[in-house]
């Protein structure tokens, strides 16, 4: 599943080639994605002003509105020549002037595209989202405040999109390891200082993944068409029953909210 770092890597890859271009049309080979894709005629002739990211949504801003895209479970975007032959899962092409198209590939079809006129921040998919983990508002104080008196496992708090967006399972596991916090500890019992360390850890883990082009599983294709790779730099995720790189203790696995959770019983308290 494309996580925040893959989405951000995609954004950085496609933005330079799209800004200032004019949308000339599109080809919808399969409109039945997570929701039916409907692209209004008003989009034609609009100039692309920027490509933004909010949580795992990519937002293509134009003169009058925005296209809000989500890659779902298996989606990827790439810029390709307009005359290149589409594959069986290449469901949407967005054409702009020049000879390139933005092509959405999505075998499992959980991705989505919406058009929003005016300010995209008001869109129903966007408006209730929590803070961005890489923004300055995401701090230990914020986590400490929302955690007050709550018995929910700290890992679930970290993965709650109403609190902070885009911290998927892999990055929640890795951030908690980095901060030395056990995933199942009740959020309300964690001190402000430890939350400050956790917020910093989330930031560092995500920034590192973005730098590496995303720490992905199988389905991600980066903007140059390379397959994603499984990063060797993961400390705990996927390493249950293997020795901790830091201390040699055997890593423990459990499930929290149905999600695979791995931690070091020695390094994490």
Interface residue list for Zn ion (CB under 5 A):
244, 246-247, 249, 264, 266-267
Establish whether 127 is a catalytic residue.
no
Residue 220 Cβ, how far from Zn ion at the closest point, in Å? Answer: 29
Q: Is 3 a catalytic residue?
A: yes
| 199/267 with CB nearer Zn ion | 267
Catalytic, out of 3, 6, 174, 223: 3
Q: Under the phi-then-psi rule, with left for phi > 0, alpha for psi from -120 to 50, and beta for the rest, what region is 43? A: alpha
2, 5, 133, 183: the catalytic one is 2
Q: Tell me, what DSSP letter sits at residue 23?
A: E
Residue 252 known to be catalytic = no
Q: What is the CA radius of gyration of the chain?
A: 20
Closest approach, Cβ 244 to Zn ion, in A, equals: 3
Query: Which lies closer to Zn ion via its Cβ, residue 108 or residue 252?
Result: 252
Closest residue to Zn ion, judged by C-beta, is 244
Nearest CB to Zn ion, comparing residues 247 and 254: 247
Integer Cα distance of 266 and 57 in angstroms: 37
192 is catalytic: no
Please report where in the chains the tokens 């961005």 appear, as a residue.
132
Cα distances from 133 to residues 63, 143, 167, in angstroms, run 28, 11, 8
SS3 260: strand
Catalytic residue among 56, 78, 103, 155: 56
Q: How far is the CB of 178 from Zn ion (least distance, A)?
A: 11
> How far apart are CB 154 and Zn ion at their closest, in Å?
18
CA dist list (Å): 229 to 97, 217, 219, 220: 32, 7, 9, 8
What would the DSSP string read from start to end of 54-104?
Answer: ETTEEEEEESSEEEEEE-TTT-EEEEEETTSPP-TTEEEEEEESSSEEEEE
Closest CA to 181 of 140, 148, 142: 140
Structure tokens at 3: 């996580």
- Reading the block at residue 144, the tokens are 């400490």
Q: How far is the CB of 169 from Zn ion (least distance, A)?
A: 20
With respect to Zn ion, which residue has the nearer C-beta, 212 or 266?
266
Q: Which residues are catalytic?
A: 2-3, 56, 259
């Amino acid at each position: 599943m494309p996580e925040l770092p893959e989405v951000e890597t995609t954004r950085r890859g496609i933005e330079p080639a799209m800004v200032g271009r004019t949308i000339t049309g599109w080809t919808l080979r399969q409109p039945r994605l997570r929701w039916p894709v409907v692209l209004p005629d008003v989009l034609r002739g609009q100039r692309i002003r920027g490509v933004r990211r909010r949580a795992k949504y990519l937002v293509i801003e134009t003169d009058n509105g925005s296209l809000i895209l989500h890659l779902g479970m298996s989606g990827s975007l790439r810029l390709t020549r307009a005359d290149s032959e589409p594959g069986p899962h290449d469901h949407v092409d967005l054409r702009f002037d020049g000879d390139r198209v933005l092509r959405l590939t999505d075998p499992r079809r959980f991705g989505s595209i919406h058009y929003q006129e005016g300010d995209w921040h008001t869109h129903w998919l966007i408006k209730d989202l929590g803070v961005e983990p890489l923004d300055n508002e995401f701090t230990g104080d914020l986590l400490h405040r929302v955690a007050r008196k709550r018995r929910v496992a700290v890992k679930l708090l970290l993965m709650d999109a109403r609190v902070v967006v885009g911290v998927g399972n892999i990055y929640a596991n890795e951030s908690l390891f980095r901060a030395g916090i056990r995933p199942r500890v009740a959020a309300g019992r964690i001190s402000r200082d430890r939350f400050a360390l956790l917020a910093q850890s989330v930031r560092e883990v995500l920034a590192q993944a973005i730098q590496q082009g995303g720490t992905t599983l199988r389905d991600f294709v980066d903007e140059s068409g390379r397959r994603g790779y499984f990063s060797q730099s993961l400390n705990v995720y996927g390493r249950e029953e293997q020795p901790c790189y830091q201390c040699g203790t055997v890593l423990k696995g459990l499930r929290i909210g149905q999600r695979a959770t791995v931690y070091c019983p020695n390094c994490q308290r």
